[in-house]
Structures are given as structure tokens and as C-alpha cells.
Chains A and B, each alone.
Chain A
Amino acid sequence: MTVAVVVFPGSNCEHDVVHALRLLGGEAELAWHRDTDLSGADAVVLPGGFAHGDALRTGAIARFSPVMESVRTMAEAGAPVLGICNGFQILCEAGLLPGALIANRDLAFICRMVDVEVTDMDTVLTAAATVGQRLRIPLNSYEGNWVDPDGGSRVVVQYVDDPNGSQGRAAAVANTTGNVVGIMPHPERATEDLLGSVDGRVLLEGFLASASRSIHV
């Protein structure tokens, strides 16, 4: 079981994600955004950062990176696909997740621990958690305000408070089949006591378990 962690020009959380996944017993390797073949991987993570400097809109240019065709193929085949922070924005721009992310309601760059609650455990990210489980995970974003004009999408993790105006207090959103998930806070930064919280573990453990059940595509 291997998780590909995609590096775009401007990504900056890829090593954190690889470190956290390995810490939890997973196999994780970096992939470059120009790679066209992720068929050796069972799952893929798009990490946080500022791909292409957030030019035009967050994720607007990254969605056209060559690797995204392979990401789309995996998503459509049911493989686990996770976008964290900027990765969430890229998955929305690519149309693999519903809605879009705009500037935080109060235009603050929010960089602090937030409390979130799992509301749906039928996804590759929340599979090891329970509904109602509260987690403390760091949020680190300016454009974390999720909007979904059509409504009816799956919010799978909610903020307990409302830090940024996100519709439905959405901290994480899934596609209809639950194999593609975007989360705005960073579970990989809440995996060791030294970091002040280990609450991100249950999410990444669920993701790794989902990846180990995934077939090669």
C-alpha cells in the first residue's frame, strides 16, 4: 500500500504529510506535479501550500497540472483521494469536489487550533472516527471559506465554532461516493504530542486503512 503525495510548485506541507503517514505505519512517496502515472499508488494526497502562488484563484492553475489526469482516474475508480488545505482548493477547482473556497469572512489569515466534529464516517478520511467525535486540529488558511451555491453536498467534518464563514460550518467535504475528501485544517500537524494534539491521527489512520483496501487502478 503506497500513498502518493503530490508536490506542486508552491506546495509546502508535503514533507509533513509524508512524515505523518509513515509515523502511522503507512508507505508514502512524493510525486511531482508533472508526473503522469500514479498507477503504483493506492491513494493520493494533495498537500497544503500555495500552488502557483494562488495566481488567479487558489488551485485554478494546479488543476491543469499533468498529474491531475491520473488523480481524476483514481478518483473515478474509487481510490482514496485526500486534499488538505490548498489540496482541498485544487480538488474543488478540478470539479472532483463540490463548491469552491473563497476568502475568510473577516479576511483574517487564521492560524490556530480549532475544534471540529465528525458528522459522517462513511468516507475514506473519517472511516476510523465516530459521528460526534470532537477533534482539535490546526487551521492555517486565508481562503478556507467553503461555498456551495447548489447546496446538498456532504459536509463530513464541521467546525464547532464558525471561524471563517464556511457554509454549513464545513471543515471537510466529500464527494457522493466518499472516496474524495477535502479538509481545510491540517490533520498531519496533529499527530505527535510535541505538536500539541494527536487528534489528526484518527483521520489519517482511517485514510491509510482505506488505502490498504483500495485496489490498484
Chain B
Amino acid sequence: MNVTVTIRRRAVIADPHGATVARALADLGHSGVRSLRIDRTIHLDVDGDDPDTVREQVAAMCEQLLANPVLEDYEITVHS
């Protein structure tokens, strides 16, 4: 099954890449950008046909490796 994981750095943690892109947009004349954060998206194709089981598997992957619990939260979307 196709699964999308979005890894999102918590709002209290700085995002130097996002801040740099926001400054570039302002330099290019795009005013009014109040906030810009860059997330990481991971696409997986996982064996199985039960969405709940697949979601559980991917959650275990996030807890162990894909996300750093000190910095990040994750969101899993299982595509049917």
C-alpha cells in the first residue's frame, strides 16, 4: 500500500532552511509571508492490504527511525 509520512518539526524548534527561504521571498518582493516552515515528506510502498496494520507498521518506523522525538511530530496517510 502507498503511504505518505509527513515529518514536521515542532513550532518551538527553529527551522533555519524555512527562515532562509522566507527571507529570499521577501527579497523577491513577495511581502506578507508571516511564516514559512519546510517539512519532510517520505513516500513508502509497503506490503499488506489492511490499512490499520500498515499504519501501525509505519508508526513503528517513525518512532524508531523516521522522526526524531526530540524535534519532530509525524503524520501518516495510508492511500487506498
Contacts and interface: CB of A to CB of B under 8 A. Distances in A.
Interface in B28-43: none
Interface stretch (A65-73, A98-106, A191-199): A98-106
A104 B17 CA distance: 9
B65 A105 contact: no
Contact of B14 (A57, A92, A102): A102
A91 to B, nearest CB: 12
Interface residues of B, number: 12
B13 A106 contact: no
Most buried by A among B17, B70, B71: B70
Interface string B66-80: 101011000000000
Contacts of B20: 106-107
A30 interface: no
B16 interface: yes
Interface string B1-36: 000000000101110110010000000000000000
Nearest to B40: A56
A101 to B, nearest CB: 10
B16 A149 contact: no
A165 interface: yes
Interface of A: 56-57, 60-61, 64, 92-93, 99-100, 102-107, 145, 147, 149, 165
5 contacts: A56-B66, A57-B68, A60-B68, A64-B65, A104-B16
Interface of B: 10, 12-14, 16-17, 20, 65-66, 68, 70-71
Given A100-B68, A147-B14, 11 more contacts: A56-B66, A92-B70, A99-B70, A103-B16, A104-B16, A105-B14, A106-B16, A107-B20, A145-B14, A147-B70, A149-B70
